[in-house]
């Protein structure tokens, strides 16, 4: 009976630690799932459970150095985090998701090591960080870099077949509708070959963020099959909404050939 009681007590403690890890991981994942991120409820719960299981295995085997297993968990979660980091044009996406998975693994290790208060506190800290700091991060992203900024005029041009004009015009407006851009005008002109149309957008961008923001838009539109070519240029001290002649542009545009063919 004593042996049976000991086995039951050990099993209950094992289940309690594992259950706490799953609960804390699911709590972290709930916020990510609610915001429609790549790693959501199940992923974070599984990461925390896996980390806890490895720590529990180390404790069950009476490893003289249990911290070694936790260190291996930290290294192993890096490969999983790398899988959710994606490059979108000139931007990198998924870094916050990868960091959240890393934190979920740490919470699982705390739960597996028999530190319930630490696991709960860690999970709460991750959730508060993801929720409360998001508005502040967005405000900082939109804040000007210096005390006084000037708006620089740019021209964004996309060329497509005449039958795709409406679709490409919509794509251009969507690509330039972000907070970094101040869209002023959009116009379409037939090209001399009679089969192609040039969709031209004039806009202003504050500070020195113009090149990066426009390169990102060019990268996205150049992958569209309907777009024959796309480019942007800095057009000097003002936006010329009248004549189509761009001989006074400050920089000659660099053209990117799309996948739609010419």
The pLDDT of residue 254 is 46
Q: What is the dihedral of CA 220, 221, 225, 230, to 10 degrees?
A: -140
Q: Would you say residue 212 lies in a domain?
A: yes
Residue 117: per-residue pLDDT: 94
Q: Same domain for 158 and 120?
A: no
Question: Residue 223: its pLDDT value, please?
Answer: 82
Residue 161 and residue 113 share a domain: no
CATH of the domain at 238: 3.30.70.260
| Per-residue pLDDT at 133 | 86
Q: Which residues of the chain have pLDDT under 70?
A: 1-7, 63-64, 66, 87-91, 141-150, 179, 206-211, 236-262
Residue 168 belongs to some domain of the structure = yes
Amino acid 249: pLDDT: 37
pLDDT at position 5: 58
What does the pLDDT read at residue 46? 92
**How many whole angstroms separate alpha carbon 214 and alpha carbon 183?**
12
Residue 262 within a domain? no
pLDDT of residue 258: 46
Of the three residues 112, 142, 172, the one that is the final residue of a domain is 142
Residue 94 shares a structural domain with residue 207: no
Q: Is residue 156 part of a domain?
A: yes
CB 210 within 8 A of CB 176: no
The structure's pTM equals 0.52
Domain that holds residue 171: 151-257
pLDDT, one tens digit per residue, over 95-111 is 888 899 989 999 999 99
* Domain closes at, from 142, 160, 179: 142
Q: How many domains are contained in the chain?
A: 2
pLDDT for position 219: 82
Domain check: are 79 and 173 in the same one?
Answer: no
């Amino acid at each position: 009976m004593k042996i049976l009681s000991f086995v039951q007590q050990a099993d209950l403690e094992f289940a309690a630690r594992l259950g706490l890890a799953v609960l804390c991981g699911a709590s972290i994942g709930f916020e990510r799932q609610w915001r429609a991120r790549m790693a959501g409820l199940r992923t974070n719960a599984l990461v925390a459970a896996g980390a806890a299981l490895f720590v529990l295995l180390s404790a069950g085997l009476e490893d003289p150095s249990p911290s070694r297993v936790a260190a291996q968990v930290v290294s192993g979660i890096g490969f999983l985090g790398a899988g959710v980091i994606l490059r979108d044009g000139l931007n990198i996406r998924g870094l916050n998701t990868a960091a959240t998975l890393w934190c979920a693994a740490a919470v699982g290790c705390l739960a597996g090591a028999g530190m319930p208060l630490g696991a709960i506190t860690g999970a709460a800290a991750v959730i508060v960080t993801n929720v409360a700091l998001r508005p502040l991060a967005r405000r900082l992203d939109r804040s000007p870099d210096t005390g006084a900024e000037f708006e620089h005029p740019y021209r964004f041009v996309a060329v497509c077949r005449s039958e795709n004009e409406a679709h490409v015009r919509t794509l251009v407006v969507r690509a330039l509708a972000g907070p970094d851009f101040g869209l002023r005008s959009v116009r379409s002109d037939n090209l001399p070959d009679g089969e192609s149309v040039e969709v031209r957008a004039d806009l202003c961008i504050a500070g020195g963020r113009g090149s990066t923001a426009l390169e990102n838009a060019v990268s996205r539109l150049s992958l569209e099959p309907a777009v024959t070519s796309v480019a942007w240029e800095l057009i000097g001290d003002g936006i010329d909404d009248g004549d189509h002649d761009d001989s006074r542009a400050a920089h000659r545009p660099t053209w990117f050939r799309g996948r739609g063919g010419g």
